[in-house]
Every structure is written in structure tokens, then in C-alpha cells.
Amino acid sequence: MIKKPWMKNSLVYLLITIGVIVVFYTLVPALNNTAEISITEVITKAQRQEIGEIVVQGEKLTIIPRLTESGAGLKFTSRMSEQTDIVSLLTENNVEIGPTGVQVTFKGSGGFGSIFGILLNFLPLIFFGGLILFMMRQAQGSNNQTMSFGKSRAKMMTFDKPSVTFADVAGVEEAKTELEEIVEFLKYPERFLALGARIPKGVLLVGQPGTGKTLLARAVAGEAGVPFFHISGSEFVEMFVGVGAARVRDLFEQAKRNSPCIIFVDEIDAVGRHRGAGLGGGHDEREQTLNQILVEMDGFETNTNIIVVAATNRPDILDPALLRPGRFDRRVTLDLPDVIGRQAILNVHSKGKPLSPEVKLDTLAKETPGFSGADLSNLVNEAALLAARKNQKSINMPEFEEAVERVIAGPERKSRVINPREKEMTAYHEAGHALVAWSLPHADKVHKISIVARGAMGGHTTLLPEEDRYLWTKNQFEDMLAVTMGGRIAEELIFDEVTTGASNDIEKATKIALGMVKRYGMSKALGPRTFGKREELVFLGREMNEERDYGDRIAEEIDHEVQRFIAEAYENAQRVIIEGKPKLVQLAEYLIQHEAVSGDELAVLFNSDESPEDGNSGNPAVPPQIPPTVPADTQPNLGGLPPHPAPSLSADHGITP
């Protein structure tokens, strides 16, 4: 039973109130409208026939004056000893007692009045005692809070009415199939136990950020209808030694009391890194926490019905003891969704939102390769915000297309002032990228060209692959290199000078060429071998340097081959731009006038010698900008994960995406 906060200190507040009242009446006795006189004065007033009645209540005497023409006077009080008899005393002093003299009335000394008097006498002691008790309880509560460091901070949730189910998870059908067994075991454990089957004690969800690891774990708990303990790996570690291990023990004790249940540890790599790599050696706090996790997971009884689900995007740095059978028996990989998965995710997040009939989610799915589930969720939300900003009753396709660019590069920088010459150079730069991409057979198709500043970008050319790509060929890499060189070549051809706008293009081309030579073995001169061994510091969780496993002569050959790939791409792009110079000028002039082109207008520009009519072009819809394609050598593969579909290349004007 949980006590309400306002009830905890009610007794103390009551005592304080009573104490204030007692002090008030003690310090202001005039409120009683009485004055105390001696017993001798009482006898004297009685002899003068000034007293009408005397009320005796124990030792206290209340003297009521006799009525006169002016009314009754003030009452008096007096006190006498217990051995004194007021009647005898009055008789001895010749005071008449009776109706014609002084009436003497006796009242009981016990009852409520006596009890109240006793309480008034002892109330100060009660008040200060309650105050001391209150202070002691506060101090005890502080001590309890101090000693609660070892308590688990896991949040327990029950799913009587599950808010998240498998229906809310899309794009990871294989992962859901793997986890259906977990749900079946938690619902019907006797079905498995009767056959002698053993359910995995732990499930490790592996995937890039935003692929839905946490959402999938919540869906498992919602489908199974069991308690769900959620905690982050970083919450185990504190500055005090042994706190992490104590919290692990407390977490598993809570889980055993609420079994069957699920324990979900998010970002387990915070405490599950390789042992022996920390600064503290074997006594490192993180290692002690990991050791306790290993003991608790391996110490499960067969009938506890507790399943540990953990999530990480760095499985390569986890301790091998954590991944062995008996602990995390099953590894479920959540990859970036393909085109079918992206459409399913868009359908989930667009439920309940008023979409215009013109919205084609399948088209959006094709235009968003490389997007994770979190990116697509943010995309739908941004589109809804844009529609609300325009006071629309439904969400239209232009809002979705604008939302894609906002998710990638941020909002348009409409307030940015660009001088005419820079605007013209940017137009020719982006037109150069687009012309080369349109002309080469192995390059992705041009989807949109824009010279509108967005975020940190001055302009961009968006390329979309016709389908999801899992493998790259040498021809595709060579055409990609040529596309990156197209902007610089267009500037040289038209303006006869070189600008800083191609700095990011050159950096991108160098990385692609290095990957072709050192990692993919695409150089005929060096043959099919890799060069360099990447070293990764586990404790820091990042690649710090590369061990050189080749000599100086091979290093010169690598430099020569990288230079050759870039030079050949430069010559190829230069040939395309010189041959298509009229088309380059036509495209750049259209960009200067309209700032963006896509869709049908773009097809007309490339396939005819005439520019599209301004009346038909209007303000072209803003198609999505897709993240730039980066070869696999610049994106380290996490823990042996299979490569995900490569996003399209977006060549920008001098800005790193």
C-alpha cells in the first residue's frame, strides 16, 4: 500500500496547529474575561454581599457577582487547597449560605474538562516530541535514499492492454519471425517443456540506429502480455564501486518475483565491452557489472521463464562470454529496410493521418533508399507539420517530398543572399554533375537538381538508383568518380577558373578510389589483395589508426593507382561535358531562372534541345534529396553485418553532407 504524500506529515501538522492555539491562549489570558483573586478576597466580597454564587470544581472556584441594577459584574476565579471546605469557611466568617445569601454549587472535577486541562498542561511536551519524531523520520528517509544506490532503476511496465504489437513493426519481417518463438514460449511454456525444448535465455538485437530494436522489444512484451523491465546499460554504472553489480542482482530478483517476464537492456555495449580493456583492469566497475550479468544469466533455473533481450549497434565490441550459448543464444539482425519494407513502414506511420489521394507511398519508398525506420517516421511527421503550417486539411505529395529534404539537409535557407555570379557558378556546377550522371551508362539516374541553399548545402544533385543495391561493380565506381568530377570540370570550362565548391567532391572521389585499391582489389597493377589492417581500440569504441602491412614501394603503387583512377574519371567526365556543352548551358540557364528542376521538366531538358515552357514548369515540386553514397571502406561494417542497400549519390556544392 502506497501512502499519499499529503498523509505522511498530517500528524505533525496537527500538533503544530494545536501548539499554536495553546500558546495563543496562554499568552492572551484576557480572552477568558476572568480575573483570579485570593480566597481571602472571596470571603471579604461575600461578607459585603457582592457575591451571588460560587461554583466549586475541584480546587477551582468560579465567583459569580450578585445582580445589580447595572447588571452583573465581571466573574472571578480563585483556588483553594483540597483540605479546605468553602462552606465551612463561609459559615465561620458569618456569611449566609442559601437563596438569600451566597449559593454554593459543586461540579465534578473529572470528565472532559479535566482531561482537556491535562492535555493543555502536557501539550508543549507532546508538541516538541512530535517535532523531534518528524526530524528523526526525515533523517531516516535520507539514509534510506543514500543506501538505495544498489536498487535497480529498471522501469516495470505491464501490458494488460498492449500499446505496441507486431502489427506496429514493419520492414523487419525476418526479425519478427525469429521472435515469435519467444512470444509463444512466454504464452504457452508447457508446449515447449513437454517436448524437452529449451528456449533461448537471451536474445541480442543487432542493427544500426533507428532500425527498430527498442520498438521490436516492446512489441514482444506486448504480444506476450507479460511484465517488461526496461533499463539502459549506462544506468548500471555509478561512481561508487559495486553499485552496478548490486543493481544487476536487484533487477534479476525483481524479475524472478514477476516471472514470466522480459528484461530489456538497451545499449548493452555500455557495460558489455571486452574485459581487460578498461583503465582499471580486472577491478574496473564496468567489468564487475558485466561479471554479475554473466552470473545471473547463467544461473537461471529452467523454470524461471525469464528472457533477457538486449540491443546494440556495436556487437563487435561485446565480450565473447556474453555471446556464448547459454547467455545470448540468439542474435537477431535488423538491417535497413528494402523498398518493400520502407513502404510497409510508411503505411504503419501514416495510419490515422489524412492523406491526399495523390500521395503514393510506393513512390516515396523508391525515393528513400538508405532510410531507416526512424527516418521514415520522422519523414511522415515532418510532412504532417508542413501541411498543418499551410492550414491544409490533408497531407499532399509536395509536403512529403519537401519533408524528405528537411530530414536530410534541413529547411531551405530562403533568407540567404547569393550574388548573381555565385548563383551562376553553382548552377553550372550542379548542371555538370547532372550531365555526367545522365550520360554515363552505369551511373544512377538524375532525379533532381537544385541550387537552393538548404542547411549547410549550397546546392545538390540528387541521383536515385532504379532498385536497391547490395553490390557495387567496378564500372559503377568509375562512373561515380566521373560524376563527382563533373562539377569542377563545368566550372573550368565555363569560367576558366577553379573554386572551392568542389572540395567535398574531391574528398569523396579520393575515398572511393582508395577503397577500390586498398579494400576491393580492383587495381590490375596490385592485384586482388587488401592493404592495411585497421586497428580499433575497444575501450574507446572507435577506429583510431591503420596498421601498415606493406612497404614503401607498395605505398607508391597505391598512390599511383589512386591517382590513375581519379585521372581517368576526370578525363571521362571532361569528354562528356565538352560534347554536351550546349545541353550544360541550357540546363544551367534553366536552373538560374527556376532554381530547381525535376520530374518531367528534367526529362524534357535532357531529351530535347528546347527548354520546357515556363507555364508548364512553374515551381517544380521538390523531390527528396538522398544521402550520398559512400563506399563500404568509409562505413565500417558493424560486427559482420551484411551490407545494406547503398543510398544514392548526392553531389553537393562544396559542402560535406
Q: Which residues of 138-223 form beta strands (DSSP E)? A: 155-157, 202-207
Cβ neighbours of residue 167 closer than 8 Å, sequence gap 6 or more: none
Q: What is the pLDDT of residue 222?
A: 81
Q: Buried b vs exposed e over 271-286: b needs ≥16 C-beta within 10 Å?
A: bbbbbebbeeeeebbb
Query: Strands 60-65 and 75-79, how do they pair?
Result: antiparallel
Q: Could you give the CA distance from residue 604 to residue 590 in angstroms, rounded to a whole number?
A: 12
Cα–Cα distance, 67 to 51 (Å, whole number): 9
Mean pLDDT lowest for which of 152-161, 391-400, 603-612, 631-640? Answer: 631-640
Whether residue 612 has pLDDT greater than 70: no
DSSP-H helix ranges across 521-613: 552-579, 581-594, 599-607
Q: What is the pLDDT of residues 273-329, one digit of tens each?
A: 777 654 444 456 777 788 888 888 876 555 567 888 899 988 888 888 888 887 888
Mean of the per-residue pLDDT values of the chain: 75
Residue 546 phi, psi dihedral angles, 5° rounding = -125, 125
CB-facing half-sphere around the CA of 364: CA atoms within 13 A: 29
**CA-based nearest residue to 277, from 637, 635, 626, 537:** 537
pLDDT exceeds 80 at position 412: no
For residues 618 and 309, the model is more confident at 309
Assess whether the previous peptide bond of 29 is cis (omega < 30° from 0). Answer: no
Model-wide pTM > 0.75 = no
> What are the distances in angstroms from CA 352 to CA 14, 368, 407, 504?
54, 22, 22, 42
Q: Give the pLDDT score at 78.
A: 78
Higher per-residue confidence, 261 vs 428: 428
Confidence at residue 114, expressed as pLDDT on a 0 to 100 scale: 55
**φ/ψ of residue 178, rounded to 5:** -65, -35
Are the C-beta atoms of residues 244 and 236 closer than 8 Å to each other? yes
Read off the pLDDT band of 404 (50, 70, 90): confident
Give the count of beta carbons closer than 10 Å to the beta carbon of residue 504: 20
Is 375 strand, coil or helix?
helix
The reported pLDDT for the residue numbered 624 is 35
Task: Express as a percent the part of the chain with pLDDT over 70.
Answer: 72
Q: Please identify which residue in the block is written with the cell numbers 540491443.
A: 311
Selected residue with higher pLDDT from 319 and 2: 319
Cα 385 to Cα 405: distance, rounded to the nearest angstrom: 14
610 is known as an active-site residue: no
What single-letter DSSP state applies at residue 452? -
Cα angle at 540 between 512 and 332, to 5 degrees? 75
* 192 compared with 351, residue with greater pLDDT: 351
Taking the C-alpha atoms of residue 402 and residue 398, their distance in angstroms, rounded to an integer, is: 6
Please write the tens of the pLDDT for every residue from 37-46.
777 887 788 7
Judge contact between 48 and 93, C-beta under 8 A: no
pLDDT digits (tens, 9 = 90+) for 220-231: 878 877 888 888
Element housing 90 (H / E): helix 86-92
| β-bridge mates for residue 331, sequence order | 204
Average pLDDT over residues 636-647: 34
From the list 287, 296, 399, 430, the catalytic residue is 430
The pLDDT tens digits for 362-387 are 888 888 888 888 889 999 999 999 99
Q: Which secondary-structure segment (H or E) carries 460? A: strand 460-464
pLDDT tens for 68-99 read 655 556 777 877 776 677 777 777 777 777 77
Residue 150 clears pLDDT 60, i.e. is over it: no
Integer Cα distance of 11 and 132 in angstroms: 12
| Cα(314)–Cα(31) distance, integer angstroms | 80
In this predicted structure, the answer to whether residue 637 has a pLDDT above a threshold of 50 is no
Q: Between these two residues, 134 and 498, which has the higher pLDDT value? A: 498
